[in-house]
Structure 1
Amino acid sequence: MSITNQKLSSKITEKIWSSDIERKIIEEWKANNVYDNIETNQSKDKYFVIDTPPPYPSGRPWHIGAAAHYSQIDMISRVARLKGFKVIFPIGVDRNGIPVEIHTEKKYKIRMRNTERKEFLKLCKLTLDDTENEFIEILQSLGLSADFKQKYQTDSPDFRAFTQSTFIEMWNKGLVYLGNRPNNYCIDCGTTIADAEIIYDDIETKLVYIKFYLENNNEFIVIATTRPELLFACQAVIVNPDDERYKEMQGKTLRIPIFNREVKIRSHHSANKNFGSGAVMICSYGDLNDVQLFRELGLMEIRSINLNGKTTEFAGMFSNLRIKEARSKIIDELEKQGLVEKIEIISHRTPLCERSKTPIEIISLEDYYLKQVDFKSNLLEQSKDIKFYPEMHRQILLNWINSITIDWPISRRRFYGTEIPIWYCTKCKKPNLPEPGKYYRPWDENPPFDKCTSCNNDKFEGEKKIFDTWMDSSITPLYITKFYKNRETFNKIYPVSIRPQGKDIVRTWLYYTLLRCLYLTKHIPWHSAWIMGYGVDEKGEKMSKSKGNVIDPLPIIKKYGADAFRFWSASETNVGYDFRCSEQKIQSAQKFLSKLWNIGRFISNFEIIDENNRPQELEATDKWILSELASMTKKCLDGYEELNFFIPANALREFTWNIFAAHYIEMIKSRAYNNESEEERKSALYTIHKCFRTILLLLEPISPFITYELWKKIYEDGEIVSEQKKIPTVEIEYDALVSSTQHIVKFNSEIWNKKKETLSSVTNKPLSLKDPIKTQIPRELELFKDDLILMHNIIVE
């Protein structure tokens, strides 16, 4: 029976799938509280808890790669529901730290240190509030099945009190100490930074070859340095003990050019014979090697750079100068005195502040440190119990732990962050800590105690420094499981199921969380860690605001829809690897969803035949597609098991578009409309619905909007978003028919092409797909003969 003779009566009235429908669905989910985290009494092993990365609203545009990352985190949550878990999917907002301070300074054209502290904090909060709402809008528009009603903010009094409580507990365990030692310092940020916050870049710089004369002698040696501005802080010159050029000079005295101070030539294996002249000046501090050598050789530090990034009084006539200015003036003076042998331009690997991209300096400062060096072996051992997706990114963590040489400096000289809860006795200077539980601001509040615990003095001075922002971020798995507030809940859902995050913060967020949670709970914080790569532009370059290649996700989502964005993200991204961000590919994803919508409109014409009333025997064509469905389902489930959404996305598109729609539906259309053979028709309708239900269930984690709407319209219930839906099963009873696919595809394609190439004797135009054609059915397709004849209107020769 020809389809043209049938009157269609689709359950779906909208002719096209659009983002307008998505917005209506979001409101429906909100109204029905579909994804709220409601406490249940399920057993421990039925919970799936996500330690969701709190996004940082430090200004627009937000990275399209970040939006892709969060859409895939939502896929993780939906796969867990597909497996029958009660999912706890919290949403937080990270609102502490240097980025918001920098953004506030730019927005209001002010400087933090020139602004009254309370006023600056107020402006920071306004800045965050302005951008946070848009971040939440993006996350909701992406269809995140998270609990937005219980959103947390890391700058809230409750969260900051939590951070302070963990610090007080670690202090009481003897894990924190105050130390004055050389540390990384960012001049632009105005604070100490940890090694994990340093990046490296090759920067063009001058390598200056300077003559150092021996004491009371016209003889000199040449020392090459990239830091001539630190000449005045030089305390030794080292040469390699195996360097024949300096064998006779070891132990002799040199005069420092310009400053005429004397230093010794000492031998040390760290001097590279092949760099510069092979002789190295050791200053306080040019780099971390200088720090190590000062300790090892017992040298006396000379403070060279102050907190404002200027040379100190020890620089004499070059004091109070910015580093670049001091460098230029000292080089000029050296050249004037004939002390420069030559200058080379080299590419120098330079440590930079991760946030400001400013070269770091090493300055001795008093800071609080959290012990980590002595805990390295424990961290390495405990980390073995964490499953990594993909496994290759475990190495990032291991490399970082093995590279640690100093404890973690956790105090910062900034304003917007969680305050260190300490008051100092004005008499004995001893630190006094309060009881945990409240949020304390020592710089602005009197202490919650009357007497110093050491000397009974009643006068105190509050700490002005704040914590490194990772001190807040590293306790998210404890905060979301109610570590201090509800031990019953904590014991039921900790360790949490998974930490999803980017590979760029393995050495910070993942590592610091592991460190802190092991200290506080003696257990790893999560069972698994899912690590995503970078979103790169179409040229393969990492996106950054400075390069101007960042794509704002919100206009893209509004233009093509969240499901298209999400499907692109899944189909483009192999878990753990970098992925290209392309609007053209998002548009291609939209076309697939349009195809799916049209398939759904067609299928919705027919009554539902399910397992309760399936026919006794299925037709061969139906068995064949069910064999392909089983193969596709297994691929999808294997991909979901590894949380690699690239696999199910591409398997679903290939099956749905190129097999199910292009061949199967065309082969059974006549049977679907043929009321004369009830069993054959039931076989087609049972199969087409089984396939489509499975497609929708398997696609739901990736594209939840269109699957929800099609399911609701065709199958008239909300099961697809409930936690009672069943994961599709793999039925292998017809797997022998998978080999027929290549023959079916080949035959159908040949017939279609033959009709295009054959002119009609009536119209003198190429045959239409409905026109009859004479041909033979190949022997290997004999099982499908009846459906193929009806499909192509074949006259068997």
Structure 2
Amino acid sequence: MTNKEIPKDYDHKNEEKWQKKWEDDEVYKFIGDGTRPRYIIDTPPPYPTGLLHMGHILNWAYMDFNARYRREKGMDVLFPQGWDCHGLPTEVKVEETHNIKKNDVTRAEFRDMCTELTSHNIEVMRGQMRSVGFSQDWSREYITMTPQYRKRTQLSFLKMYDQGLIYQGIHPVNWCPRCETAIAFAEVEYSDNTTFLNYVNFPPADVPDEVLANVEGNSYVRYADFPDKADASVPGVLIATTRPELMSACVAVVVHPDDERYNSLLGKYVEVPLSGQKVKIIADEEVDMEYGTGAVMICTFGDKTDVAWVNKYDLDVIEAISEQGKLTEAAGRYEGMELPDAKKQTIEDLKAEGYLTKQEEVDQNVGQCWRCKTPIEILVKKQWFVAVTKLIDESKKASNEMRWVPEHMESRLLNWADSMEWDWCISRQRLFATPIPVWYCKECGKVMLPDEDQLPIDPTVDKPKHACECGCTEFIGEEDVLDTWMDSSISPLSVADWPNPGWEDIFPSSIRPQGHDIIRTWAFYTTLRCLALTGQKPFDDIVINGMVFGEDGYKMSKSRGNVTGPEEVISEYGADPLRLWAANSVPGSDVAFDWKNIKHGYKFIRKFWNAFRFISMHIFDEESEKALSGDIEDIKAHLNPMDT
């Protein structure tokens, strides 16, 4: 290029031309021949919504800067692009778009609709990625809904099942009534709000000896076993509860063993108002004597503490809540009511019948589904689990072997690991996800697994190769699907092309860039799963990025109206000012988007361009070009890539 060919003004519309040329020339291609040091990026697979947001730009800019720097250092860089496709948001969007419910069509038809929408969104987002100038190797792209990726996910399931790290069991699980599926603890978000602490009188119940003789352990006594109703005017035990709608599921009352107010009542029974069952008063040191009245009802299930007490004292379970978040037949007169309506009606009835003595407004921290923000319930369900608690110590050790940037972010993973009390529930009652690869023998119920060469399978369509040990050849395919984190938690293995020959050469990954909001999910699950499958840590370094806030100082959200899309910036100023904005941020810290920074970046690019034009006046004259017209191959032959 001569000085005369250099445009006077910087024109960002030329970016697309050069981006395409560099991609066509395979400038960013990972060679993998072992002649240069390798640098492997475990790229986060975004959910294909069809639109990049500023958080994506920030994260991918960090990766891109790193990838380009490593290439300049002479390294063979693998910077792939992945897509985390499965999940409820796509199912909901398909239902809205086609004006259907998932059960209106066959499973296959609904999945095809989800696949079509996701494929379209991926294509749109590919173009957006390219427009920002990110330097991925698109030949190494992975998409979690493809047969190839589903095969990897299902293979990882089989291998962990064989190790005893995946099992099926009937346990209390977090349940979203809106999504009608089990969810993991890592998918539960907490919201602060206010509610009422209701003080309810539980009258004493003198249970006859002949009834007590038939009571096992700490079981409650059903009203049918003891029909004489206690007099509500007689003082009993005052219970403080925020969930009176669950009194029909009350199975015991618990107090602190050192609480002198209740010493004389231990082992005796009280009657649950409205529902009538008689429950035993027991003692446990976990009770907070200062909260409410110091007497707590154990119901199945109000929270995790109820679950712990039910297991500890072998209490009965009354299933009072349905999968749809309504009260069941066990709730008597409240059967079929939505939980908020049932709470309101229960309080009115307690007042009317003289059981409610007072109410206090209190702060409350409520667990809710991270997808739809619906309060979660705890239901007893048959589900599939990863035995997380078996791998906690190894996962923490592997975390300590990684370099965390910033260093203090590691505490989030370690604290989460220490708080794990339940195993990871990995089964979901949805459709658009990787199928759980198991069948059940129709005769004896035995779990049947596919051979590895059958993968990927859909057990609702495909059949086992072999008969069951009992001789039966009829099977029922598992209809539940896997948690989407089961897909993305093997991303470093997918990047390495596991389990194909040579995968060990590019595993572990060199670096994992990700947001701090998914440390307890993506980072933790990846560490745990890669340990289980390979015995190694998943990556050497992990770089944590912050969240992007709007100009008003709040996290960008449509509801606040403070969202700025990257396409707005690129159309007016080009990609480089946006990349400069990202370059000026600090890893691990939240970043505010500001149009002033974009405009300053644009001015800098123009000044840089003008400086280039000025310099070119002196290097692109005839004499300079003559001096530079030597054999370029001769020059290249004397260059060492590691010296650049």
Question: Cα deviation per residue 1:40-92 (whole Å; 9 max; x = unaligned)?
Answer: 2325xx000111011111354x3212222112211111121122210011111
What is the SS of the residue equivalent to 1:501?
strand
Alignment of 1:164-203 (within 5 A): 164-203=154-193
Farther off after superposition, 112-121 or 355-364: 112-121
State the distance in 1 between where 2:239 and 2:376 align: 23
State the distance in 1 between where 2:497 and 2:9 align: 45
How many angstroms does 1:546 deviate by?
4.2
Q: Which residue of 2 aligns with 1:157?
A: 147
Please say if 1:558 is aligned against 2:571. yes
Alignment of 1:242-321 (within 5 A): 242-321=258-337
Q: Which residue of 2 aligns with 1:393?
A: 409
Contact 2:448–2:464 under 8 Å retained in 1: no
Question: Cα deviation per residue 1:646-700 (whole Å; 9 max; x = unaligned)?
Answer: xxxxxxxxxxxxxxxxxxxxxxxxxxxxx9xxxxxx9xxxxxxxxxxxxxxxxxx
Please say if 1:523 is aligned against 2:513. no
How many angstroms does 1:289 deviate by?
0.5
State the distance in 1 between where 2:94 and 2:560 align: 21
Contact 2:86–2:484 under 8 Å retained in 1: yes
2:48 pairs, out of 41, 57, 66, with: 57
How many angstroms does 1:538 deviate by?
2.3
State the distance in 2 between where 1:516 and 1:434 align: 21
1:446 pairs, out of 462, 468, 471, with: 462
Q: Aligned Cα RMSD in Å?
A: 2.3
State the distance in 1 between where 2:140 and 2:173 align: 39
State the distance in 1 between where 2:453 and 2:568 align: 43
1:484 pairs, out of 499, 519, 522, with: 499
Question: Cα deviation per residue 1:234-287 (whole Å; 9 max; x = unaligned)?
Answer: 001112223333233322211101111111122212222222222111100000
State the distance in 2 between where 1:13 and 1:440 align: 55
Contact 2:239–2:296 under 8 Å retained in 1: yes
TM-score by length of 2: 0.90
How many angstroms does 1:405 deviate by?
1.2
State the distance in 2 between where 1:548 and 1:112 align: 32
How many angstroms does 1:386 deviate by?
0.6
Question: Cα deviation per residue 1:93-129 (whole Å; 9 max; x = unaligned)?
Answer: 1111222223323333333344432222122112212
How many angstroms does 1:134 deviate by?
1.9
State the distance in 2 between where 1:461 and 1:188 align: 27
How many angstroms does 1:35 deviate by?
1.4
What is the SS of the residue equivalent to 2:350?
helix
Query: Which structure is richer in relative contact order (CA contacts within 8 A, separation 6 or more)?
Result: 2
Q: Which residue of 1 aligns with 2:471?
A: 456
State the distance in 2 between where 1:553 and 1:223 align: 55
Contact 2:32–2:38 under 8 Å retained in 1: no
Aligned residue identity for 1:54: P
Farther off after superposition, 439-448 or 184-193: 439-448
Alignment of 1:466-477 (within 5 A): 466-477=481-492
Contact 1:212–1:255 under 8 Å retained in 2: yes
Q: Which residue of 1 aligns with 2:435?
A: 419
Contact 1:54–1:91 under 8 Å retained in 2: yes
Aligned residue identity for 1:47: R
1:38 pairs, out of 31, 45, 57, with: 31
What is the SS of the residue equivalent to 2:264?
coil
Aligned residue identity for 2:29: D
Contact 1:59–1:103 under 8 Å retained in 2: no
State the distance in 1 between where 2:315 and 2:389 align: 24
Q: Which residue of 2 aligns with 1:364?
A: 380
Please say if 1:575 is aligned against 2:576. no
Farther off after superposition, 323-332 or 354-363: 323-332
How many angstroms does 1:403 deviate by?
1.0
State the distance in 2 between where 1:335 and 1:441 align: 57
How many angstroms does 1:170 deviate by?
1.4
**Residue 95 to residue 221, structure 1, CA distance change in 2 (3 Å):** same
State the distance in 2 between where 1:438 and 1:89 align: 31
State the distance in 1 between where 2:292 and 2:96 align: 41
State the distance in 1 between where 2:153 and 2:196 align: 45
Q: Which residue of 1 aligns with 2:208?
A: none
What is the SS of the residue equivalent to 2:96?
helix
State the distance in 1 between where 2:528 and 2:143 align: 22
State the distance in 2 between where 1:527 and 1:228 align: 51
1:237 pairs, out of 228, 253, 262, with: 253
What is the SS of the residue equivalent to 1:604?
helix
State the distance in 1 between where 2:4 and 2:308 align: 75
Q: Which residue of 1 aligns with 2:515?
A: 502
What is the SS of the residue equivalent to 2:301?
coil
Contact 2:449–2:464 under 8 Å retained in 1: no
State the distance in 2 between where 1:437 and 1:528 align: 34
State the distance in 2 between where 1:110 and 1:269 align: 52
How many angstroms does 1:430 deviate by?
0.3
Alignment of 1:538-617 (within 5 A): 538-571=551-584, 573-607=585-619
What is the SS of the residue equivalent to 2:619?
coil
What is the SS of the residue equivalent to 2:140?
strand
**Residue 475 to residue 135, structure 1, CA distance change in 2 (3 Å):** same
Aligned residue identity for 2:16: R
TM-score by length of 1: 0.73
**Residue 169 to residue 604, structure 1, CA distance change in 2 (3 Å):** same
What is the SS of the residue equivalent to 1:180?
strand
Runs (5+) with no aligned partner, structure 1: 1-8, 610-674, 676-681, 683-711, 729-797
State the distance in 1 between where 2:195 and 2:349 align: 18
Runs (5+) with no aligned partner, structure 2: 206-229
How many angstroms does 1:296 deviate by?
0.8
Paired-residue identity, %: 37
Contact 1:239–1:279 under 8 Å retained in 2: yes
2:240 pairs, out of 224, 237, 241, with: 224
The structure having more radius of gyration, on CA atoms, is 1
Please say if 1:17 is aligned against 2:10. yes
